[in-house]
Structure 1
Amino acid sequence: MALGRRSRRTDPAKAVTDAATDVGRAVKKPLTGKQAKRMIGVGTAVAPLLAPYALAAAGAARGAWDARRAARLGVATDQLGAYAGPGGALHARLSRVAEALTELESSETHASDAATAFITDTRPRLADLAVAVRAAEQMPTARRRTAYRAIGHELDRVEIDLLTHLGVATA
């Protein structure tokens, strides 16, 4: 005669569902005050140790992000502040075209009457486009996008003319 012990063998499928139920119960348990105090204590002990590493990682990530943005705009990283905002990319393009006009003007190989006339006609146009970009920054989003698209097309034409004066064939 057995002393009232039963065998602990169970059905494997039932064991899996019991384990899943136990996991579900563990997830649904609310956070107790003791657990919260323990987590706060661990956090206050570990935070000062990890803070310098976190700050260094954040600085490195920000530097990489700024370098990527500067490369996309075609400017130096220290000039990013000048080209911030919704019209930053257009301002960067305008400044690069203005620099190219200055180089064309000082170049002896491309100095001709046509190039001088082009530079004289284009500089006021670039100033007008810069004013248009600044004005478009205050517009509602849909109108701003339309204005930026029109300014971009005008800049495309100026850049093509500039490349023609520099002797670069455009297709």
Structure 2
Amino acid sequence: MTGKQAKRMIGVGTAVAPLLAPYALAAAGAARGAWDARKAARLGIAADQLGAYAGPGGALHARLSRVAETLTELESSTTHATDGATAFVADTRPRLADLAVAVRAAEQMPTARRRTAYKAIGHELDRIEIDLLTHLGVATG
């Protein structure tokens, strides 16, 4: 490539760049929107709630939130509101609060310890979710 060809390419680039910039920005915005929608779907939340569940513990906070919402639905349900379900809700709410505190505390830990803590919290949430599904009448196998 000669100097003359390089100057010509730079000239064409400076003339074309302002014309293509809005399309590039629109494409970048669309890509970011699709990425956010995919991440929100993976977490099981709406895309507008994604900012509330950001950070290393975001996925666990989202799970905790969804379990708390389901506990409220179980408590207010006329079909599944048994004495056992009411006791389960009363016992589980403080446990969810403790797990939320544990997630926030683990966010300050070094990476290896944080992963271990998150794994333990995830296993505890798995157990709570299985019990919740049992009270909702869903066979978990």
TM range (shorter): over 0.9
Per-residue CA shift, 1:39-83, capped at 9, x if unaligned? 221111000111111111111111111111011000000000011
5 Å-filtered alignment, 1:132-171, equals 132-171=102-141
Consecutive unaligned residues in structure 1, runs of 5 or more? 1-30
For 2:139 and 2:35, how far apart are their aligned partners in 1? 34
- State the shift of 1:85 in Å: 0.8
The residue that corresponds to 1:46 in the other structure is: 16
- State the shift of 1:144 in Å: 0.5
For 2:75 and 2:30, how far apart are their aligned partners in 1? 40
For 1:91 and 1:119, how far apart are their aligned partners in 2? 18
Structure 1 residue runs of 4 or more that deviate by more than 3 Å after TM superposition = 31-36
- State the shift of 1:159 in Å: 0.3
For 1:131 and 1:32, how far apart are their aligned partners in 2? 64
Consecutive unaligned residues in structure 2, runs of 5 or more? none
| Structure 2 SS opposite 1:44 | helix
For 2:109 and 2:5, how far apart are their aligned partners in 1? 52
Identical aligned pairs, as a percentage?
A: 91
| Structure 2 SS opposite 1:45 | helix
- State the shift of 1:128 in Å: 0.5
5 Å-filtered alignment, 1:93-132, equals 93-132=63-102
- State the shift of 1:38 in Å: 2.4
| Structure 2 SS opposite 1:139 | coil
- State the shift of 1:33 in Å: 4.4
Per-residue CA shift, 1:89-139, capped at 9, x if unaligned? 101000000000000011011111111111111001000100100111111
Query: TM-score when scaled to structure 2?
Result: 0.95
- State the shift of 1:32 in Å: 5.2
| Structure 2 SS opposite 1:109 | coil
> What's the Cα RMSD here?
1.1
Provide the aligned length of Structure 1 versus Structure 2.
Answer: 141
Query: TM-score when scaled to structure 1?
Result: 0.79
Greater shift, 85-94 or 37-46, is seen at 37-46
- State the shift of 1:141 in Å: 0.7
For 2:82 and 2:8, how far apart are their aligned partners in 1? 79
For 1:36 and 1:128, how far apart are their aligned partners in 2? 64
| Structure 2 SS opposite 1:161 | helix
Greater shift, 37-46 or 140-149, is seen at 37-46
